[in-house]
């Protein structure tokens, strides 16, 4: 079980809760036969460099993905070149359910390690072990809740979206003093349904209003949490 310590190492999570990873690890710890079964259907962890595809479309039907380190994104490029980021996946997130329907591309948003779990094997394991089944259900309902939150965000004005994004990012990263944003502005803009220009202007305005301060590059300091919370509505 050498490979599973990553769950402990990477217990910073941004949009996904780290609970999932903890639960995943518990599954391993409790039952040695289960460990063997899961390890048997595991491939990886495999490293991917930023902006590279994690799976071919065909493979996604066969595998579920588990993020070990870094950030993965699922996104769609429409005719005209517009890109939408549907979700970011962080260490501890299990995903890859629905991508056949909208033909979403899974890519590395930063250098990333991903575990491949054979879908059919995992599902048949779930019929035999109810802990696996309820883990899968839990992971899926969590992702559903996050997606609904994302959806609600999209019908709010730009400033609110950015304030919400930064605040939640900060909370997920453990509410440390300085927020080190691990995405490119283009990724954030595509996630929030804005252009990079609008995103930049929003951040500049937050800075001018003293709600946040820029330390360096993508390192920020959230100064006025009350005002930010108010802006989130």
Site of interaction with DNA (CB under 7 A)? 157-159, 184-186, 193-201, 203-204, 214, 216-218
Q: Which stretch binds a copy of itself (CB under 8 A): 21-29, 49-57, 138-146, 167-175?
A: 138-146
Residue with tokens 């329907």: 101
The closest of 64, 108, 76 to 89, measured between CA atoms, is 108
What phi, psi does 102 have (nearest 5°)?
A: -105, 10
Q: Which stretch binds a copy of itself (CB under 8 A): 25-33, 43-51, 101-109, 219-227?
A: 101-109
Residues contacting a copy of itself: total by CB under 8 A: 38
Shortest distance in whole angstroms from residue 192 CB to DNA: 8
Among 4, 22, 41, 136, binds a copy of itself (CB under 8 A): 136
Per the DSSP assignment, residues forming a β-bridge with 77 are: 83
For the beta carbon of residue 187, count every other beta carbon within 10 angstroms: 22
Instruction: Output the CA angle 80-83-85, nearest 5 degrees.
Output: 160
Give CA–CA dist 171/224, Å, rounded. Answer: 14
**Binding partner at 198 among a copy of itself, DNA, none, C-beta below 5 to 8 Å by kind:** DNA
Give CA–CA dist 202/40, Å, rounded. Answer: 48
Q: Which residues bind a copy of itself (CB under 8 A)?
A: 76, 78-80, 82, 84, 86-87, 97-98, 101-102, 104, 123, 126-128, 130, 133-134, 136-137, 140-141, 143-145, 147-152, 154-156, 193, 233
């Amino acid at each position: 079980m050498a490979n599973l310590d990553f769950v402990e190492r990477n217990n910073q999570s941004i949009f996904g809760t780290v609970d999932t990873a903890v639960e995943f690890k518990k599954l391993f710890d409790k039952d040695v036969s289960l460990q063997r079964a899961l390890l048997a259907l595991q491939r990886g962890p495999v490293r991917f460099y930023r902006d590279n595809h994690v799976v071919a479309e065909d493979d996604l039907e066969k595998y579920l993905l588990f993020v070990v380190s870094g950030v993965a994104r699922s996104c769609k490029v429409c005719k005209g070149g517009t890109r939408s980021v549907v979700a970011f996946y962080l260490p501890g997130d299990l995903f890859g359910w629905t991508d056949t329907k909208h033909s979403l591309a899974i890519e590395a948003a930063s250098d990333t390690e991903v575990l491949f779990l054979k879908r059919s094997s995992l599902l048949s394991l779930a019929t035999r072990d109810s802990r696996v089944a309820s883990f899968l259900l839990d992971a899926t309902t969590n992702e559903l809740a996050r997606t609904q939150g994302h959806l609600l965000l999209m019908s709010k004005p730009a400033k609110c979206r950015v304030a919400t994004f930064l605040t939640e990012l900060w909370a997920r990263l453990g509410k440390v003093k300085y927020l080190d944003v691990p995405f490119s502005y283009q990724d954030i803009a595509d996630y929030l349904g804005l252009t990079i220009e609008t995103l930049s202007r929003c951040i500049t305005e937050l800075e001018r209003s003293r709600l946040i301060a820029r330390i360096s590059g993508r390192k920020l300091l959230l100064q006025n949490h009350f005002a930010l919370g108010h802006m989130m509505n």
